[in-house]
Structure 1
Amino acid sequence: MALDISTPNLAPAAAESSKLKKHFGRFDILFFLICTIVGVDTIASVAASGGEAFTWMVVLAVVFFVPQALLFAELGSTFPQEGGPYIWTRMAFGHLAGAINNFLYWVTNPVWLGGTLASAAAYALQVFFHAGKDWPTVMIGGYAFPWAFYVITIPFIWVAVLAAVLSFRVGKWITTVGAFARFLLLGVFVVTVIVYGVEHGVHGLGAGSFTPSYAGFVALVGVLLFNYVGFELPNSAGEEMTNAKRDVPFAILRSAAFSFVLYAVPILGILLVIPVDKVTNLGGFVDAIQTTFSVFGGASGTVGAAAAVLFVACVLTSGVTWIMGSDRSLAVSGYDGAAPRFFGVIDAKLGTPVRVNIFSGIVSTVVLVLATTITEGNAYKFFGAVLGVTISTTLISYLLIFPSLWKLRRSHPDVERPFRMPWMRGLTVVLMLLLAFTVVQLMAPGAFYDWFGADFRPDGWKASEAGLYLLTELVPVVAFIVIGVIFWALGTKTRRENRALAQELDDAAAGVGVAASAEPGGPTPA
């Protein structure tokens, strides 16, 4: 019988996977997922579209959020190997597709950490600890160097990296704290909105504002789908789970319900408190906190500062969870032959991919500095451009992850499936069509309708800059694909080592079978 080499358990992989430790239980996965999916940095980006944002959020929860939760409940419980999304794609479509897709999947996270998450944290601290004033700068050769901004954002990045470096036995508690920070922040915000509404009245939204429109869908679909992905991330640590077959479906289905509520309620709160034309992508949620917390009177400054700290904890742990998961996938691809072997190393003491973690921190820091410089410190322009690249690159990676379930049902029909996705073919087609449409809109906002029109143009960008925006979205994605191909080429030696050992084990197994058949009482040769 031929040896199954569909899992990364040969040659270099055997040495690395043996360092992994099982610390990931049922409720750890649940809280990890809540921390992964509920990103407070994008809540305002949804609310900025007004009442119909809530309508489209509900619609996409039905046609996208729930179906992909079901899809990953099957994949995650059926194929619980370390490196989850990379392994599924590689098993379904080969090492080259796995290498390209996995680089796209990984690179979005250091870009996101050094871009939108760091700037969102800095904005919250600016509002509540610096009276909303611009951060001080120093002139260097005619350039206003934002040293205070960097003093906040660069340590923010490296604290996240350090959290990812820690043993999962410790690191999982950081993500659990992040989940409870969300419960506390969003819970207090909702209660405060109610009190504010009673005392001051609310902005109010007429029933007509919730009517969905095509233009609203085009403007919203990217950020809504981005908010709704992430169910696969815990499976990047699949071999560190205590019982993936039992726990993955449990955690995914429950986290889906929690996450929807944690998004829907504060978005509705923002819409009730702040006029839509005052909501910005970068600071809408923080501004809503500042407005509603005025109900605390003289204590509003102290309470607001506490809320700012909670907000920073939420955005920080969003970055931590995604770095933890995606870095593991890149490390697995390194020892499986789809990335440089250098990255495919698990630290023996910590059980974490320290080399990839450090690499993520370096990339995040470079992104932060480059994007800040290119946008000349325009926070809104910076936020919109980086968020667009992050969302488009992330969603492109799912164009191969989603159909891997369909392919693996055909190629591995005999593998036990603790959970099966209902209506798999039809729902997968719907997911793919939504993804494809969304990627086009992210690259060219308003395509097929009003390309780069005012209703779709990101904050800080002018109508005359449509070509520049397209380049900022397209060039990075093309570059990431090229790097993925290079990573695949650099993994050639590792793939050969894996195949060679697989052949040796195959030959050894065949020899044992022949010897056994020759013994008295042994099996009769065919």
Structure 2
Amino acid sequence: MAAIPDDFTGRWEHEKTHLRKSFFRLDIAAFLICALVGLDTLGTVAAKGPQGLVWLLFLAVFFFLPYGLLVAELGSSFPFEGGPYVWTKLAFGRFTAGVNQVLYWLSNPVWLGGTLTIVAVTTWEKFFFDLPGAWKYLAGAIFIWIGALAVLLAFRVGKWLPTIGAVARVVLIGTFLFSVILYGAKHGVHLRGRDFKPSYVGFVGLVPILVYNYVGFELPSTAAEEMTAPQRDVPFAIARSGVLAVLLYGAPILGTLLVLPGSAIGSLGGFVDACKAVFTVYGGHVAANGSVTLTGAGSVMGKIAAIGLIIGVLTSGVTWSMGGDRAQAVACADGAGPAFLGKFSARFGTPIRVNLLSSVLSTVVMVAAFLITKGDTQKYFSAVLGLAISTTFISYMLAFPSLYVLRRKLPEVERPYRSPVAGLVAALPTFFVVFTLVQLVWPGLGVGWFGTSGDPAGSLPSGFAHDRLGYLLSQLVPLALCVGLGVLFYVLGTPTRRTRRAEPEHGDVANR
């Protein structure tokens, strides 16, 4: 590792002494399952029809596979706390990496306070009871701050929540699929072979969601210096969890399509509605208008599944917060942000200040979105999901090419794992990220071109029909503010960048 340029600030060198090695191979695998298998967008993909499965497999080969190879090399060759922040810094410099990292970090409170909270609240209302008025805000706040508590705990304790989340996913999806088989044997299924025919309209509508659900490989590397053996465990965990993630994501989409007619699948509650329908095999019925009533054992199964789904989306948010907050704290301690946010707790080894700020931001996003959309949860879901994807993917536009740049810039660094054809491995996921960003900013671009069928306006997200300007502003204005915040953070980190590594510890304390 001596060949790697070592220009971390004295402040980070002091803060890293609070880290504890408690991240093992099994923990990394569970972490990845929670990061990769997002339950909040299963309905969105299913609502696009059976071709979603075709594009799911297509992207598994041309995006997910090279992306996994890319992170396996970077994570094992540059095993520093902060993961993608450090890779981008080594490739493009501290300023670029710092602004990039703010976008990566902000996507998590937007996602947690937005899509995950609304899925959790919607699931509760479908299986338990409605939450009128202020009760909906209270429920969302409870959901967010339970996650905050888990993130604040020492990693050796907090890491168990992603493990519980990984188990909950396997049990929930396994139970759902078994129930689908029983339901299909009794009532038949809705799929036909010709329904799987792919189209460009379907591709542009699905790629942002599918690619977003295929990202997260780099997340464990944000805690690389808390791993016991990152150079060995990172490639191994990526290989195992990658295969399992494709199965766990594709199977419930297929199950949803089998039991619900296309017109009955909503992007927000599609998977939840499918769960309710199939659990009628244990007690209950589906009315002629599609409404579902669960009774007896069916009602019990539904409530258990609802709790499992809520745990699943909560652990997704916790996992991403653990990783994103750590990387942001490293960036701040390294002079790419305000020193105040670069503090790691000596007791817990976690970046408590960034953790709390993230939770506050998640709460603000939740309240603001409910107020702005006046309770239109579908519009809220679409706008916030698009923004969460955009902020994440802008950061990947630099993180992914880091593989190729560092191969040329630091060829002498020992690489326990080397990706084949580094240029192609870096180019493929970068291409899909750029394509996704274009489709998020201007949905439907290319639809109707070169003889293709369809109306570009039909690609606008649910809740924004005939309101392209409104959707465009919902994406561009927050993105501009995020970039501006990244620049401001870098300016505020100026005193930290002047902190020399040779300073004694009391000097570091005095500068706080």
How many angstroms apart in 2 are the aligned matches of 1:469 and 1:455? Answer: 13
How many angstroms apart in 2 are the aligned matches of 1:368 and 1:337? Answer: 30
Write the mapping of 1:27-426 to structure 2, written as runs, cut at 5 A. 27-130=26-129, 133=130, 135-136=131-132, 146-203=133-190, 205-297=191-283, 298-426=296-424
Counterpart in the other structure of 1:520: none
Change (3 A) 1:3 1:232: closer
How many angstroms apart in 1 are the aligned matches of 2:491 and 2:377? Answer: 38
Secondary structure class of the residue paired with 1:351 = coil
Change (3 A) 1:439 1:3: closer
How many angstroms apart in 2 are the aligned matches of 1:452 and 1:490? Answer: 46
User: Unpaired runs of 5+ in structure 2?
Assistant: 284-295, 449-453, 505-512
Counterpart in the other structure of 1:474: 476
Counterpart in the other structure of 2:509: none
Q: Deviations over 1:221-268 (max 9, x none)?
A: 000000000000001001000000010000011000010000111110
User: Does the CA contact (< 8 Å) of 1:6 and 1:91 recur in 2?
Assistant: no
TM-score, length basis structure 2: 0.93
Secondary structure class of the residue paired with 1:455 = helix
Counterpart in the other structure of 1:524: none
How many angstroms apart in 2 are the aligned matches of 1:95 and 1:278? Answer: 49
How many angstroms apart in 2 are the aligned matches of 1:294 and 1:419? Answer: 49
Number of equivalent positions = 486
Counterpart in the other structure of 2:508: none
Amino acid at match of 2:184: G
Which stretch of the first structure deviates more once superposed, 260-269 or 445-454?
445-454
Counterpart in the other structure of 2:291: none
Q: 1:458 aligns with which of 458, 461, 472?
A: 461
Change (3 A) 1:309 1:7: farther
Counterpart in the other structure of 1:487: 489
TM-score, length basis structure 1: 0.90
- Is 2:6 the partner of 1:6? yes
Which stretch of the first structure deviates more once superposed, 92-101 or 305-314?
92-101
Change (3 A) 1:457 1:3: closer
Change (3 A) 1:452 1:92: farther
Larger radius of gyration: 1
User: Does the CA contact (< 8 Å) of 1:372 and 1:382 recur in 2?
Assistant: yes
Counterpart in the other structure of 1:519: none
Q: Deviations over 1:486-510 (max 9, x none)?
A: 11111111112147769xxxxxxxx
Q: Could you tell me how far 1:300 is from its partner in structure 2?
A: 0.8
Write the mapping of 1:12-27 to structure 2, written as runs, cut at 5 A. 12-27=11-26
How many angstroms apart in 2 are the aligned matches of 1:166 and 1:328? Answer: 13
How many angstroms apart in 1 are the aligned matches of 2:425 and 2:413? Answer: 22
Counterpart in the other structure of 1:509: none
How many angstroms apart in 1 are the aligned matches of 2:199 and 2:3? Answer: 54
Q: Could you tell me how far 1:100 is from its partner in structure 2?
A: 1.0
User: Unpaired runs of 5+ in structure 1?
Assistant: 137-145, 503-526
Secondary structure class of the residue paired with 1:337 = helix
User: Does the CA contact (< 8 Å) of 2:66 and 2:428 recur in 1?
Assistant: no
Q: Deviations over 1:276-316 (max 9, x none)?
A: 22211211110000010000012111110000000000000
User: Does the CA contact (< 8 Å) of 1:48 and 1:281 recur in 2?
Assistant: yes
Amino acid at match of 2:368: L
Alignment RMSD, CA only?
A: 1.6
Amino acid at match of 2:247: V
Amino acid at match of 2:55: W
Change (3 A) 1:304 1:493: same
Change (3 A) 1:330 1:201: same
How many angstroms apart in 2 are the aligned matches of 1:221 and 1:278? Answer: 22
